[in-house]
Amino acid sequence: MRNTLIKRFNGSYRRDALNATLFENLWQVKQFTKEYFDEYNNRRTHKSLFNLAPEEVLLKCGQLTSSNDSSELPTAQLAIKLR
């Protein structure tokens, strides 16, 4: 199961990030990757969450106080358990 999830993420990352963006230095890659992870794990909609983003699910369940503070966002895996 884990291998499947990793392969899916790697494909999405390559398609959405690496193939679509020209980086000039390593710092840009690291910054872009950090932002991509946040988007991928917290704000991207998921079919398994009824096309809601994990952040939206957590807000609806009362597990998150505001959508502005990404530091309190747990992983997407926790959001799936809350369904």
Task: Per residue of the chain (83 residues), give pLDDT as tens.
Answer: 678 888 988 998 999 888 988 999 999 999 999 999 888 888 889 888 889 898 888 888 877 776 655 555 555 554 445 44
How much is the pTM?
A: 0.62
**pLDDT (0 to 100) of residue 24:** 95
**pLDDT (0 to 100) of residue 69:** 54
For residues 83 and 58, give the distance between their C-alpha atoms in angstroms, rounded to a whole number: 9
For residues 50 and 24, give the distance between their C-alpha atoms in angstroms, rounded to a whole number: 38
- Inter-CA distances, 74 with 18, 30, 50, 82, Å: 26, 21, 19, 11
In b/e form, how buried is each residue of 5-20, taking b as 16+ CB within 10 angstroms?
eeeeeeeeeeeebeee
For residues 46 and 4, give the distance between their C-alpha atoms in angstroms, rounded to a whole number: 16
